[in-house]
A = this chain, B = another copy of it.
Amino acid sequence: MNQFDAETIAIGTELLIGGRSDTNSLFLAEELGKLGIAVRFKSVVGDERQDIVAAIHMAVKRAQVIVMTGGLGPTVDDCTREAVASATGQRLGRRKDALEGLTARLAQWGRIPNAAQLRQALIPSGAIVLKNPVGSAPGFCLTWKKALIVSLPGVPREMEEMMRQAVLPLLRAAHESSGLSSRVPIVRQVFHTFGLPEADVDAKLQGLIPKGAPVDLGMLASPMGVLVSLTTKGNQSTPDKQHDLLQKLANEVRSRLGEWLFAEGRDTMEEVVGRELAKQGLMLAVAESCTGGLIGHRLTQVAGSSAYVDRGAICYSNRAKTEMLGVPADLIALRGAVSKEVAAAMACGIRERASVSVGLSATGIAGPGGGTEAKPVGLVYVGLDDGTGRPIAREFRFHGDRNIIKQRSSQAALDVLRRWLLDRASK
């Protein structure tokens, strides 16, 4: 078989209509990708036996590895066990090894299994039981119509541990025995930009990928900027060649995106900025109006941020701007609270009052109310003051709802700080 594709099936009515989306499949796609197995399809079905059966029947037609998550709990609506048995024509029976694991786990928690929990030890005949090292529900896997069907609990921590401890080693072993061990892993490299519209990023990357090269270029716009990705197609090259090509293209992406590129991979803006502040031994204080605390929240998402974040002032009212930051009431009256001058005065005020190296501020109109023709919703000023007497004040005009404008404003403020830090480091 030339192709080696995977499909994930997430099971649970709450994933259809319940305000919760399937995130397990992101982990699965990444881990399977490392083995060179591409997740090409993802499905979500409710806790309905016939729908799960239909999803399995569809999946075996187009995938060789099928990973199902959810529907293994003790309650009556959990029917994945029954569905797999029915789809594959196997009998469902209580399995000794499944029961032992379940009983041992519950005993740890000081309980004995009740009738509902005993259902969790029901396993289709011929399936291998997969131990659950974290929770009570065992999983299982079986081969049917040349596809490996894996069934795991929906709880992310349990699913992840069972993948790591049982399923991935099993797939690796199967690969090796079938001579597929030389498969080229699917590698995805991600670049985060801020400040350029998607069309401009696209223009900068025109002609990047040589014709026929086994790499896909992706682009994804969000309020936080445009994400660029390079994904290898796997299996169309050798690992060495693929690695070299990806490195070459990644360098080209870096050089073309230049200053607009703020992070790579799982790195976030707040981590990048935090590392640089720590490296340069600087202490930061923020003054937030329209962002209402979001800049502070983001900075303090990073573990260890107390080393470079001293404080923040959320000065929502004009009085707070004057009392907390010393912004002259006259200046606010003259220029308006949303102005370059007030942004700069806020940054200067918080820096001086906190006695730190750098002050960062944001003031703007998050909407939906409060806009005028001269100062529309989405108008935002970011200020930065480092005590040199040359404060930075930058204007932004954002579109979107209140939340998006707040998110973009926080990103813009952190980006102004990032650019200032880079500039400072290069001097």
Contacts and interface: CB of A to CB of B under 8 A. Distances in A.
A398 interface: no
A306 B312 contact: no
A227 B77 CA distance: 14
A317 interface: yes
A41 B45 contact: yes
Contacts of A198: 73-75
Given A77-B216, A294-B293, A320-B354, A188 B18 contact: yes
A17 B313 contact: no
Interface string A305-346: 110011111111101100110000000000000000000000
A44 interface: yes
Nearest to A73: B198
Integer count of this chain's copies in the complex: 2
A29 to B, nearest CB: 4
Contacts of A305: 292, 316
A48 B13 CA distance: 28
Contacts of A300: 291-293, 314, 316, 366, 406
Contacts of A55: 41
B297 A117 contact: no
A288 B295 CA distance: 13
Contact of A220 (B20, B44, B402): B20
A180 interface: no
A317 B312 contact: no
Given A21-B25, A316-B309, A42 B30 contact: no
A218 to B, nearest CB: 5
Contacts of A391: none
B16 A39 contact: yes
Interface string A58-87: 100010000000000111110000000000
A202 to B, nearest CB: 5
B324 A311 contact: yes
Interface string A12-35: 111111111111011001100100
A114 interface: yes
Interface string A280-296: 00000010100111111
Nearest to A15: B42
Given A199-B74, A316-B300, A17 B41 contact: no
21 contacts: A13-B218, A13-B229, A14-B227, A16-B25, A16-B39, A16-B42, A17-B29, A17-B188, A21-B23, A25-B44, A42-B45, A54-B62, A74-B199, A117-B199, A292-B301, A303-B367, A310-B317, A311-B313, A311-B316, A311-B320, A312-B314
Interface of A: 12-23, 25-26, 29-30, 33, 39-48, 51, 54-55, 58, 62, 73-77, 114, 116-117, 155, 157, 186, 188, 190, 198-199, 202, 216-221, 227, 229, 231, 266, 286, 288, 291-301, 303-306, 309-317, 319-320, 323-324, 353-354, 366-369, 400-404, 406
Given A19-B227, A292-B301, 19 more contacts: A15-B42, A16-B29, A16-B40, A17-B29, A18-B227, A21-B21, A21-B22, A40-B51, A43-B44, A47-B216, A54-B62, A73-B198, A74-B199, A75-B198, A76-B217, A292-B297, A292-B299, A293-B293, A310-B320
